[in-house]
Amino acid sequence: MASNMSTIGFAFQGEHEFQNTMVRLAEAARERLSCSAGEYAIWRSRTGVEIWFHLQAVSAGSEGERGIDGLTPFFEGSHATTLAVDTMISRPGDNAFEGAFSGWVGGDDEAGSYPMVFDAVDFAAHRDRALPATWNVRLSAFARELKAFASVEDYYDARGDEPSFAPQAFVPIGLFAAASEEDDGGRLPPSSQALLTGRVLETQLLRNEETGRAFHWLSVESLGATLDVVADPDIVSGEIVAGGTVEVVCLLFGRILD
């Protein structure tokens, strides 16, 4: 099963190798983004693969040393989506650097658009901004399952008599699941899980510079937005081709551009 790390070409033999690699990349990260929790240290690669490390604030007596609270993988694509953001989401277990936002693609709920949740890699730098607000967000879909079809006709033929989504559709699974489930404290916070279908505008098999492991990148024109999609080859069925159609179950990550 794919993980967020394998989706962008990272694979490790065990926890020791993972930790050693992440510490090395954190030390190599040159870009910083300050926030109330401390700093994000951002490791970037030429292919667009990124790791956002969560660095604790420097405390008195620490002699400048910083602990790493966690990390978030990301893929820096080329597309931006305009969202009418209305809600900040914090979940149990998130550290101070982690969280999500929800909003509406192309407008708001009164304009006939649709809702979306995304995990923000730069969450702590934006959590105190006034909402609602209109933001431009660079979204990347980290695939958990990807089915590829050579054409729209092949997409429908594969469904037979079963109901199917339109060839350009978006379903915020994590938002609906949260609305139907509750824990002891009430309604569960939504996740960024989504199902999307769309037309493949461009695709390429990229290679992670650190591991040499391949992963798929796709530019997908979905409902009202064009998204960068990345996928571990192990979870892809069918052949991905430009002009074809894909159905993707994914988690959405985003970087806020303004």
Q: Is the model's pLDDT at 53 over the cut of 70?
A: yes
Going by pLDDT thresholds of 50, 70 and 90, the confidence category of residue 1 is confident
DSSP state of 4: T
How far is it, in rounded angstroms, from Cα 116 to Cα 128?
Answer: 20
pLDDT at 58: 78
pLDDT at 8: 98
What secondary structure, in 3-state letters, does 113-160 show? CEEEEEEECCHHHCCCCCCCEEEEEEEEEEEEEEEEECCHHHHHHHHC
Q: Is the model's pLDDT at 75 over the cut of 80?
A: yes
pLDDT at 182: 63
Q: Is the model's pLDDT at 47 over the cut of 70?
A: yes
Q: Is the model's pLDDT at 181 over the cut of 70?
A: no
pLDDT at 216: 99
Q: Is the model's pLDDT at 168 over the cut of 70?
A: yes
- Domain coordinates of the chain in residue numbers? 6-75
Going by pLDDT thresholds of 50, 70 and 90, the confidence category of residue 2 is confident
Q: What is the tens place of the pLDDT at every residue in 233-248?
A: 999 999 999 999 999 9
Q: Is the model's pLDDT at 177 over the cut of 80?
A: no
Going by pLDDT thresholds of 50, 70 and 90, the confidence category of residue 110 is low
Average pLDDT over the chain, rounded to an integer: 93
Of residues 183, 189, 202, 196, the one with CA closest to residue 250: 196
DSSP state of 107: S
Of 13-22, 52-61, 64-73, the range with the lowest mean pLDDT is: 52-61
The residue written with tokens 């604030």 in the block is 57
